[in-house]
Amino acid sequence: MTLPLNPAFAATEPPPVMEARRWIQGVTFPADRPLINVSQAAPVDSPPLGLREALADAALNNPDAHLYGPVLGMPALRGEIALQFSAAYGGAIAPTQVAITQGCNQAFCAVMATLAGAVDEVILPTPWYFNHKMWLDMTGVRTVPLDTGPTLIPDAKAAEALITARTRAIVLVTPNNPGGVEYPAETVAAFRDLARAHGLALIIDETYRDFDSRHSVELGGRPHDLFTDPDWAETVIQLYSFSKAYRLTGHRVGSIVAGAARLAEVEKFLDTVAICPSQLGQIGALWGMQNLTQWVAGERDEILARRRAMVDGFGALAGWKLLGCGAYFAYVEHPFDMASDTLCKRLVTEASLLMLPGTMFQPAGSEAGKRQIRIAFANVDARGIAEMFRRLAAFRP
């Protein structure tokens, strides 16, 4: 006899990164061709020493670090986010408009739980971030794909044609995962105006904001002007992660910036699933915000250098087409007469390369997804990137 299974979970695809890891189980890679893993967008190095020392000191000497804290997060961290984000975006964000979560994925789930239920609809540009799609599937919310075409930049007019009486939100990720593209400020503003006109939430996931190439050159260093609008909280919900900037992946710290009334609803969700975010993780995030500005700038410079190497490499790789490149990702079109999931499995055994196929980021049966691949290059240095291109150039199906 089999125990019951929620049909929505049965209809949800397995986690793609975990699925890809199974492709390398039992595979022996030649000593002269070790595995190059470009499947997951997560730092593999430890946080800088000062941050680790701050965590250790808190673990040893701060009794509060081991207790429950406020459901919406430490007041000091909420205040620091409000202060720094207000300055960075040229707007006004209050501490009461900030909540801390166990990572940015939980931030998305918490916000979406307050916005949409079964049979409601949410618009996701494709290629989409698969965990967003998974949460919507698990909760019975209908995902409405918004095709972004060859530019990977979503169009607000195209999105408007998809809005129905059941639409509750539009989700943007910029810099984009998986596409790598940085959405122009005017694109983001157009979606804000669209969402406002139809009474929808605009959710903007800025997990990779620290690695935006426009960080110090456009709009006074900000990638959009959403928060300069005094009424932003009526429409905009921003999500962020501390995992990438400070290498805190294992500590699970994310944030939500939204209206205080919305966060009162979010608090119900967070209290039920986690009670409170990790105290140590929050202490680390706060220390990072107050002490690591220049260090993060150096990290951004290194990622941008790797981005240039990816752009140059695909420019010289016959048959391959670079669709988008930025933050941690290159999103490409391959030249072979096979689906990308089949190709990616062959690249594991024949080239010792682990990548994710576009079929994991597109609706089932998508012809575009069959031609596309995501490459998460942030953990591969210049030598590794060069070796990856050498293997791609040598691959023969």
**What is the domain partition of the chain in residue ranges?**
7-46+295-394, 49-291
> In the chain, what is the straight-line distance between the N-terminal and C-terminal CA atoms, in Å?
45
Task: Read off the pLDDT of each residue in 340-359 and give the average, rounded to a whole number.
Answer: 97
Which listed CATH number (3.40.1010.10, 1.20.120.80, 3.40.640.10, 3.30.420.40) goes with 49-291?
3.40.640.10
Position 216 scores a pLDDT of: 53
Based on C-alpha coordinates, what's the Rg of the chain?
21
219 pLDDT band, cuts 50/70/90, is: very low
Sheet holding 372-376, edge to edge: 321-326, 329-333, 372-376, 356-357
Burial class (CB in 10 A: 0-12, 13-18, 19+), 9: exposed
Q: How far apart, in whole angstroms, are the C-alpha atoms of residue 383 and residue 81?
A: 36
Burial class (CB in 10 A: 0-12, 13-18, 19+), 26: exposed
The amino acid sitting at 96 is T
Evaluate whether 306 touches 326 at the Cβ level (below 8 Å).
Answer: no
Evaluate whether 176 touches 126 at the Cβ level (below 8 Å).
Answer: no
Position 218 scores a pLDDT of: 44
Q: For 31-90, what is each residue's pLDDT tens digit?
A: 999 999 999 888 888 999 999 999 999 999 999 999 999 999 999 999 999 999 999 999
Residues 6 or more apart whose Cβ sits within 8 Å of residue 86: 92, 93, 227
85: helix, strand or coil: helix
Three-state DSSP string of 238-261: EEEECCCCCCCHHHCCEEEECCHH
Evaluate whether 228 touches 192 at the Cβ level (below 8 Å).
Answer: no
CA trace torsion 52, 54, 56, 59 (10° rounding)? -140
70: helix, strand or coil: coil
By percentage, how much of the chain surpasses pLDDT 70? 99
Position 220 scores a pLDDT of: 59
Q: How far apart, in whole angstroms, are the C-alpha atoms of residue 246 and residue 239?
A: 16
Q: How far apart, in whole angstroms, are the C-alpha atoms of residue 85 and residue 83?
A: 6
Position 43 scores a pLDDT of: 84
Burial class (CB in 10 A: 0-12, 13-18, 19+), 46: exposed
Pairing of strands 121-126, 167-173: parallel
Please report the sign of the dihedral spanned by the C-alpha atoms of residue 80, residue 253, residue 120, residue 175: positive
Q: How far apart, in whole angstroms, are the C-alpha atoms of residue 28 and residue 337?
A: 27
In angstroms, what CA-CA distances link 68 with 3, 72, 79, 274, 295? 34, 11, 19, 10, 31
Task: Read off the pLDDT of each residue in 190-216 and give the average, rounded to a whole number.
Answer: 94
Which listed CATH number (3.90.1150.10, 3.40.91.50, 2.30.110.10, 1.10.240.10) goes with 7-46+295-394?
3.90.1150.10
Q: For 236-294, what is each residue's pLDDT tens digit?
A: 999 999 999 999 999 999 999 999 999 999 999 999 999 999 999 999 999 999 999 99
The pTM of the full predicted model, rounded to 2 decimals, is 0.94
Q: How far apart, in whole angstroms, are the C-alpha atoms of residue 202 and residue 208?
A: 18
Position 217 scores a pLDDT of: 43
Evaluate whether 254 touches 101 at the Cβ level (below 8 Å).
Answer: yes
Task: Read off the pLDDT of each residue in 286-312 and give the average, rounded to a whole number.
Answer: 95
